[in-house]
Structure 1
């Protein structure tokens, strides 16, 4: 078997200058440190607070999904709110998520065979165990991005674009999505790649991604205050934000921290991404963005809650996801918690 040729080692100066964001303390000793970068932005997208290297390029991974959904709505996609939330989701693969994906496909004369995402087992732990106990295997339907892919195929049908090859960067759908991401973030991509599900992926800064989430959450708040009216120019952003707020279980799933954050923090729009990414938009247009350098999933929410607290948000309802116990012999002997990284 052949191994890929080794890449040249990166010089230390080329590495992002991350800061310690989260620690795991066991009986008074710092056992582990999660480094990363974080930023909080004002409604106009300027920086309010930051730690680490928030202007270093990073891949937002699945936190791009709400932006991709905005592009699809602008291209004529029309879905009930629960299915629009699913189009923005990294879902757990439960029954409601699988059936929702099938509903999107059926509404547009498509089948599972039209999906071009990778195959995977359900992402949720309980959902995965139930799937395996039933003797089932990895499928495109259970892969956590299937709702987004069904929406992408549906958008192609609506516009008369080829469904086959809808993931190609040169496809009209992906060209539209790329332009929309640039508009919402206010930034040209700093690099391009392919996400785990096969979708084109863009490297951006944390500040740019926060700016986009603040815009989506603010649009949703304006639309809500206007009793589903509001400026037509905010239509797609508002629709995506409201769908995620009203159906947070479709965005992730039960027992998922992103779902819990939106349930406990009214008006927030939140989305996680693989490799330790967390974005939160607030109804006044402020936003937070976190990237954990080692990709550690357990550290993104403690850092996020610390950022929200620094913005003056009442984070008392988020206490259950702001920290986690460190166990020894089944009892609590320490804590996983954010450092005072903004001091």
Structure 2
């Protein structure tokens, strides 16, 4: 465990600095460490205390799509008009979906039922995120689309909320728009810290910088919130529909299915958060953004949180291939290193 890095006072923004990341994973080929992935990890106990940390969990960073569960809570607070039993649409609101037909149909339904169209979205046009889904989309002769972009559920929910509050739809992605100001307030409240910086995410939406510690604490608040709260409503929707939050064959969906009651969300640039029903939670940031290191490090952190390693075995290593066969693996290292071989690996999502 590293010595704690300076933490901002409650309610203050995290410091903008070069994070003090540490080695978290080794790429081993033929018995030789070929590469090292650095990063930071935090493991929270059920009472919210820091049980383990490595690296710099207090520096400002961008959670990318791992922020979506918090934004979904903010949208409900701001007036997102989804029926209580429409858990599928709420799950897609917090999703980085693969662009399968079920995702596209659901995003389109979210728009149609409010009298909106794809033209009302200001998200960046893109191809489906999932490899198989992207190939199918291209074979059908389609090009980049706002609906196919992996954040279309969030954007559909944003324009619905703006419409419900009689706010302008034009400019809904401007950080000064009333919708984005309310979302920023929710992120600050749930993380317990003011936002350090605001930039633009890949989909065009404002992206708020918090700390890894604050993000992990916030996601834990969703799973421990009482029934009937917006936080619990988002957590329950995501846990009920892991295939909508990500997609079939994706590791986030697989992890939520392997750990009943767990809430998991990934983000570009090597971000992962997982919260268990009792409030235990882990947060991971891979410094170089390498997605291949994200899940092995997350599995090791969950083991430190007390999750049965047998349940984590499919996520705990990524194979290294040479000549068409496995010649090594990418596994957690240092204080996170597993004590035994975690077994067969699952292909990277």
TM-score normalised by the chain length of structure 2: 0.89
Residue number in structure 2 paired with 1:300: 294
Q: Is the 8 A contact 2:17 2:60 kept in 1?
A: no
Does residue 326 (structure 1) correspond to residue 296 (structure 2)? The answer is: no
Instruction: Provide the C-alpha distance between the structure 2 equivalents of 1:339 and 1:172, rounded to a whole number of angstroms.
Output: 45
What do residues 197-253 of structure 1 show as CA deviations (whole Å, max 9, x unaligned)? 11111111110000001111112xx53xxxxxxxx5xx1000100000000000000
Does residue 72 (structure 1) correspond to residue 75 (structure 2)? The answer is: yes
Residue number in structure 2 paired with 1:48: 51
Instruction: Provide the C-alpha distance between the structure 1 equivalents of 2:69 and 2:279, rounded to a whole number of angstroms.
Output: 16
CA displacement at 1:341 relative to structure 2: 2.8
Does residue 111 (structure 1) correspond to residue 114 (structure 2)? The answer is: no
Instruction: Provide the C-alpha distance between the structure 1 equivalents of 2:128 and 2:314, rounded to a whole number of angstroms.
Output: 24
Larger CA deviation: 206-215 vs 308-317 = 308-317
Structure with the higher fraction of residues in helix conformation: 1
Cα RMSD between the aligned structures? 1.4
Residue number in structure 1 paired with 2:12: none
CA displacement at 1:316 relative to structure 2: 1.6
CA displacement at 1:14 relative to structure 2: 5.0
Secondary structure of residue in 2 paired with 1:294: coil
CA displacement at 1:342 relative to structure 2: 4.6
1:263-302 matches, cutoff 5 A: 263-302=257-296
Residue number in structure 2 paired with 1:3: none
CA displacement at 1:45 relative to structure 2: 3.3
Unaligned runs of 5+ residues in structure 1 are: 1-12, 224-231
Does residue 17 (structure 1) correspond to residue 23 (structure 2)? The answer is: no
Does residue 98 (structure 1) correspond to residue 104 (structure 2)? The answer is: yes
Secondary structure of residue in 1 paired with 2:61: coil
CA displacement at 1:340 relative to structure 2: 3.1
Secondary structure of residue in 1 paired with 2:112: helix
TM-score normalised by the chain length of structure 1: 0.90
Q: Is the 8 A contact 1:20 1:341 kept in 2?
A: no
**Among 220, 227, 243, the residue aligned to 1:214:** 220
Instruction: Provide the C-alpha distance between the structure 2 equivalents of 1:187 and 1:31, rounded to a whole number of angstroms.
Output: 39
CA displacement at 1:44 relative to structure 2: 4.3
**Among 179, 186, 190, the residue aligned to 2:192:** 186
Q: Is the 8 A contact 1:43 1:215 kept in 2?
A: no
User: Alignment length, in residue pairs?
Assistant: 319
1:158-237 matches, cutoff 5 A: 158-219=164-225, 222-223=226-227, 232=228, 235-237=229-231
CA displacement at 1:46 relative to structure 2: 2.9
CA displacement at 1:147 relative to structure 2: 0.4
Larger CA deviation: 289-298 vs 75-84 = 75-84
Larger CA deviation: 154-163 vs 248-257 = 154-163
What do residues 290-324 of structure 1 show as CA deviations (whole Å, max 9, x unaligned)? 00000001111111110110111113223112112
Instruction: Provide the C-alpha distance between the structure 2 equivalents of 1:184 and 1:314, rounded to a whole number of angstroms.
Output: 29
Instruction: Provide the C-alpha distance between the structure 2 equivalents of 1:125 and 1:185, rounded to a whole number of angstroms.
Output: 33
**Among 207, 218, 238, the residue aligned to 1:244:** 238
CA displacement at 1:19 relative to structure 2: 0.9
**Among 134, 137, 156, the residue aligned to 2:140:** 134
Instruction: Provide the C-alpha distance between the structure 2 equivalents of 1:283 and 1:261, rounded to a whole number of angstroms.
Output: 14
CA displacement at 1:57 relative to structure 2: 1.1
